[in-house]
Amino acid sequence: MYELTIKRSFVAKHGLRHYQGGTEPIHEHEWHVWITITGTTLDQSGCLIDFVDLNTWFEQSIADWNGKILNEVPPFDDKTSSPSAENVAKVIYNRLSEVVPNTVVLRQIEVEEEPGCRAAYRGMD
């Protein structure tokens, strides 16, 4: 089994909803995201998946978030879901799972909103 991980970043603000009786004050993070892909077969160039493609898909998945307030953009603009690191990881996972080819498995999305504070989401195995 082969595994590869890329790390990417984006900047966005958020405030947790339902946090200690209210909404946390809006604040900014440089969000770091690790995308892990696994598979058993390499392509003719000896790669599991093209890093350029994976980076493009990631950029597309967060395009409406970069530089924004997450509370004000889908899917967090519904006023009920909270833009936590856990939920950010799940949304990125779901968005990427729609475009990653079936020749590989999207294993995990890990999100760090500040140094030492990480959350991960894995699809149902």
Annotated domain spans of the chain? 2-121
75-78 long-range Cβ contacts below 8 angstroms, 24+ apart = 76/14
Checking if the pLDDT of 123 tops 90, the result is no
| Angle, vertex CA 119, rays to CA 113 and CA 124, nearest 5 | 145
| Domain spanning 2-121: CATH superfamily | 6-pyruvoyl tetrahydropterin synthase/QueD (3.30.479.10)
Task: Dig out the tokens for 95 from the structure.
Answer: 């968005």
**Global confidence as pTM:** 0.94
Computed on alpha carbons and rounded to an integer, the radius of gyration of the chain in Å comes to: 15
pLDDT band of residue 95 (cuts 50, 70, 90) is very high
Confidence check: pLDDT of 80 > 90: no
CB 105 within 8 A of CB 111: no
pLDDT tens, residue by residue, 15-56: 999 888 888 999 999 999 999 999 999 999 999 999 999 999
